[in-house]
Chains A and B, each alone.
Chain A
Amino acid sequence: MTVRVLTVRENLLGANDERARMNRELLNRHGILMLNVMASPGAGKTSLILTTIAGLKERARIAVIEGDIASSVDADKASALGVPAIQINTGGGCHLDANMVAKALDHLALDGPLDEIDLLFVENVGNLVCTAEFALGEHRKVVVLSVPEGDDKPYKYPVMFAEADVVVISKCDVLPYFDFDVKSFSEAVCGINPKVRIFPLSCKTGEGMDPWFTWLGEETESRPAEIPAETPR
């Protein structure tokens, strides 16, 4: 048999990107703004989402998709606040992908009309590496970095910080006890990503929550359908 070389030139995340585009279209049709919340385990993703639900519940109709390797601990906490919450267990997988989110959106639609949701948080699996590579169809990527993790993380995980639309510095109430320099951290993030918005805050004390709520309120009121589709990498 003759040996032949076939040109392929196909992106390995192409199928995921296509599914993410379809998720985005569905969200746009229903006027839902979806945020992909990414961070290391324990950075405070769940606390941020729960505090935001409590603070914004009167202004926006919120729902949550929780991604975890196992358990429904986080979805249970969100349900207890009276918002629709769907748990995805990845069964060991270290990130969510667009297909998992598509299924979760189907489940969410069974809970009630999607038109009655304004703001959808997707809490990704705790991981600062590969969650950045898998588009879910989100309108905004939110990266949470907690004070105890250290201010050098943008240099160690440049792709994650380059992808972020928003960076939340969480647990700012413990700043006096750590050598975390908010200014040098912010400069590092802006160096990689000049368009990023940074919100230093503490869910515990409520400090810094208001600017975050204001931003979210404005984003939710802006029409998600007008946000341009995913730009190819």
Chain B
Amino acid sequence: MHEQPIVESLMSVALEKAAAANASKILGIYLVNGELSGANSENIEFYFDFLSQGTIAEQASIFFIQPPTEVRCRNCSTVFSPVNLNLTCPSCQERKIEIISGRELFVESIEVE
């Protein structure tokens, strides 16, 4: 459900940028979507297929780029990528962490003609 406003925002960002460059068609959208962004890639595609109809983006593909999820242990400063959101530090077994990356949700670039 919550991907709809995100895709609306994605559409407006992509269409504005394409219009400013006098492009006639958007071929691809490179979207950086971190594991902790709360936005599901399949749902984004689902809404995009629907919302892009009748626009210059209707044939565009979305290419998802997932940056690594990284957290830093607040106890021993080890940086690690949690598997299945297991936040236990592999070095000291503490579960005191700071999220460094994984919450990203932005359009990196678009491919147009």
Contact = CB atoms under 8 A, between A and B. Distances in A.
A10 B113 contact: no
A110 interface: no
Interface string A66-99: 0000000000000000000000000011110100
B21 interface: yes
Interface residues of A, number: 36
Given A156-B85, A159-B99, A191-B96, A8 B17 contact: yes
Interface in A107-155: 129-130, 132-133, 155
Contact of B111 (A5, A13, A93): A5
A5 B95 CA distance: 42
Interface residues of B, number: 39
Interface of A (DSSP majority class): mixed
A11 B105 contact: yes
Contacts, number: 107
Interface in A23-76: none
A191 B74 contact: yes
Contacts of A4: 21, 23, 111-113
Interface string A154-197: 01101100100000000000000000000000001011101000
Nearest to A3: B113
Contacts of A11: 105-106
B40 to A, nearest CB: 10
B9 A3 contact: no
Given A12-B13, A130-B2, A1 B24 contact: yes
Given A94-B1, A132-B38, A159-B36, A12 B9 contact: yes
A13 B85 contact: no
A3 B107 contact: no
Nearest to A190: B96
A8 B14 contact: yes
B32 to A, nearest CB: 9
The 8 closest A-B pairs by CB, nearest first: A191-B96, A1-B113, A8-B107, A130-B2, A12-B9, A11-B106, A130-B38, A133-B38
Interface of B: 1-2, 5-6, 9-10, 12-14, 17-18, 21, 23-25, 27, 36-39, 74, 85, 87, 94-99, 103, 105-113
23 contacts: A3-B112, A3-B113, A5-B112, A6-B110, A7-B108, A7-B109, A8-B17, A8-B106, A9-B108, A12-B105, A12-B107, A13-B9, A15-B12, A16-B5, A16-B9, A93-B2, A132-B38, A133-B37, A158-B99, A159-B36, A159-B99, A190-B96, A233-B103
